[in-house]
Amino acid sequence: MAGVEQALRETARELLREGKVGTIIGYVRGSTPFRSTPAFIENEEEADRLVFDVTCGSNLARYVRNHGRDGRVAIVAKGCDGRAVVQYLSEGQLKRDDVLIVGVPCTGVLDHGKVSRLVRNRNVTGFREENGKLVFEGDGFEVTADREDVLADSCLRCRYPNPPVHDVFLDEPAEAAPDGLHWQELEKFEQMAAQERWAFFEKEFARCIRCYACRNACPMCYCEECFVDQSDPQWIGKGIDPSDTMLFHLVRALHTAGRCVECGACERACPLGIRLDLLNSKLEREVHDRFGYTPGTDPDETPAMATYDEEDKQEFML
Amino acid sequence: MSKPLKLEKKRFGEFVDVLLSRYWVFGPVEVDGVARFRRIESADALKPGFPGTVESPKGVFFPQMETMLTGDRNEAASTSGPEEPIAIVGARPCDARALLMLDRVFGTGERTDPYWTRRYRDALVVVAGCTEPMAGCFCNWLGSGPFGRTGADIMLTDTGDAFVVEACSEKGSGFLEQAKGLSLSEASGEDQSKAEGVRSAAESAMPEKTDVSSLKEILDRSWDSPLWDRLAERCLSCAACAYLCPTCHCFDIQDEKLPGTGRYRRIRIWDSCMAPLFTKEASGHNPRPAGRERLRQRVMHKFNYFVEACNETACVGCGRCVRSCPVNIDIREVLAEFVNAG
């Protein structure tokens, strides 16, 4: 992975030097060794701060739409950032020339919530990858974790670890998760009785504090004004009654149906570790099975929700 | 103040039982894998390990959503408070300090907030000193430490098999006086020196601090600082920081129909200056139109306006925002940047 980082910095320097872009949206080291933070690199000297590794979890695509002001912008894109950009292109939110995609192969990113729970919130001062394991150390402790225990769930079943479209690609493409794994969690969940599923969601959403970190981390939640922030009319109660909390999550899931790029940024952003993936996963499967559409894979394809065909399945209509 | 006492951990349940007989007891308990402050009704629900919580305990006294009154077209009735006074056990020193700070806002002065006061005024705050700092902790920057006593009534110091128990207020002293003998014995000199050792080890384990004593003055002249733009660039403008914060206390009030009853309720709910609706005016104009202005407000309120009004920062350095920010905006780095920029 160090090779990728070096190539990334060289590419960044070159792009800035040649004036191909004004800003590179990437990651730099965060305030703790197992975190990184989004950064907007505007000159060559700063390019050496760029990193790319397992800590780079934020979906950077959400910054692209608002960042055209310095001319062309480049984005460091792992598979899911790239898919979000592609989805923007097919939704008419960006033009292909607006953004230069620097593709990086992704082997998964940390769920920092999982890490915090694993190290019991202790202060991590060192982090390294060793023999395929991840090691977190601090004052008087060292915790070694299997990748499965600390990587984001969305990464463990990722189908697109490389951006489907790119201008530059650094290093060799990463391998996707084995076939069949992708829908496994969903299929397991679907086996549960309706009442059990309801109980599960009730329990998960009972933790929601309506901070909207999920929505704001999501590259696809780009409405200028979210329905929960409208006051005239006010569509939804602002408290934490289960009906209001649930309504927010259900509407968000429906608004992202056929658009969700499965990056899992919502789940990683949630401070309370709520399982947000299942609703989206179910809807993605429905859209895929009915319309053969996978969001963020082909910029020239019309989004499933923007097209109509008489042959579309509609047996669900009452 | 009374002499230090000793509570053996195997008798911790008895101590909690004494609390339960007089208080509504709240403490950090695991709910679906997440440690949260919840009311406990039996002693065995609370373990003497006191896990750190993602959320602060402010919600015990200032719930995220609270019904203020219910009514119909003809009458309205306000809601009642807790039936017993509240005891909170296993809060951190920073949490206790934050509660006292909130009392400056809600419980002090000419007009007090009855909803806050009815919970906090008689509350007993039993604090567990921090034997080990958590990631992101920086209470030492802000004039406190892992065994700070501000806002605490009773301090527990974990010495291994036992706690050394000390009163930090008249209220705490009164409770311990009554509880003495039931599960508490006098702490020996050895217990006390053990506790002292734990405290000084914890203090030396705290991260190096940045001198923020000039921060208020620096912020006085930083209204147009380019640092706000740089911060706002990556800030998601969510309210995770504000809602997890033990001192953020802005709220909204809403009237809601109670479906099918012809009645309504008036609720008070947490709100956050990070939300677009927070300052939106009826005309549609929003004086804080974007993330930059909202983020600036949050930092300014804590480290400038509150200092102006109350002579202390509205931040206790608990590190919750540091740990939970989805994009790793670390308030310690933010403060240090302002200090360094002068």
Question: What does the CA dihedral A226, A232, A238, A241 come to, rounded to 10 degrees?
Answer: -100
* ipTM of predicted complex: 0.94
Domain ranges of chain B: 5-205, 215-341
Pairing of strands B251-258, B86-91: unpaired
Residue A182 structure tokens? 């992708």
Under 8 Å CB-to-CB from B244, ≥6 apart: which residues?
Answer: A209, A211, A271, B54, B55, B56, B320, B321, B324
Separation in Å, CA B320 to CA A57, B216, B243: 19, 22, 10
d(CA B246, CA B166): 24
Q: Average the pLDDT over B2-21 and give the result.
A: 93
Check CB contact under 8 Å for B275 and A211. no
Residue B309 structure tokens? 């009004």
Per-residue pLDDT of chain A (318 residues; tens, 9 = 90+): 568 999 999 999 999 999 999 999 999 999 999 999 999 999 999 999 999 999 999 999 999 987 765 568 999 999 999 999 999 999 999 999 989 999 999 999 999 989 988 998 899 999 999 999 999 999 899 999 999 999 999 999 999 999 999 999 999 999 999 888 999 999 999 999 999 999 999 999 999 999 999 999 999 999 999 999 999 899 999 999 999 999 999 999 999 999 999 999 999 999 999 999 999 999 999 999 989 999 999 999 999 989 988 888 777 776
Angle of CA points A93, A95, A97, to nearest 5°: 150
Instruction: Tally the C-alpha atoms within 13 A of residue A158's C-alpha that lie toward its C-beta.
Output: 27
d(CA B157, CA B165): 7
d(CA A203, CA B261): 27
d(CA B135, CA A32): 9
Q: Bridge partners of B258? A: B263
**A144-150 long-range contacts, CB within 8 A, separation 24+:** A145/A115, A145/A118, A147/A108, A149/A114, A149/A118, A150/A110, A150/A111, A150/A114, A150/A115, A150/A118
**How many residues comprise chain B?**
342
Nearest to A240 by CA among A275, A201, A210: A210
Separation in Å, CA A150 to CA A10, A55, A114, B329: 30, 11, 5, 21
d(CA B231, CA B296): 9
Q: How many beta-carbon contacts under 8 Å exist across A and B?
A: 124
Contact A270, A210 (CB under 8 A): no
On whether any CB of chain B is under 8 Å from the CB of A218, the answer is no
d(CA A25, CA A40): 5
Separation in Å, CA A302 to CA A260, A292, A293: 15, 12, 9
Question: What does the CA dihedral A11, A12, A17, A19 come to, rounded to 10 degrees?
Answer: 100
Helix (H) or strand (E) segment spanning residue B127: strand B124-128
B209-250 pLDDT, tens digit per residue, is 999 999 999 999 999 999 999 999 999 999 999 999 999 999
Residue B64 structure tokens? 């995220």
Cα of B211 to nearest chain A Cα, Å: 18
Check CB contact under 8 Å for B233 and A239. no
pTM (predicted TM-score) = 0.95
On whether any CB of chain A is under 8 Å from the CB of B137, the answer is yes
What amino acid is encoded at B25 in this protein?
A: V
Cβ neighbours around B210 below 10 Å, total: 16
Q: For chain A, where are the E strands, in sequence order?
A: 23-29, 36-41, 50-51, 73-77, 99-103, 124-130, 133-138, 141-146, 168-169
Best B131, B235, B238, B265 member to test A by mutation, with max A CBs in 10 Å, is B238
Q: Which residues of A touch B135 (CB under 8 A)?
A: 32, 116, 119, 121-124
Contact B324, A274 (CB under 8 A): no
Cα of A61 to nearest chain B Cα, Å: 12
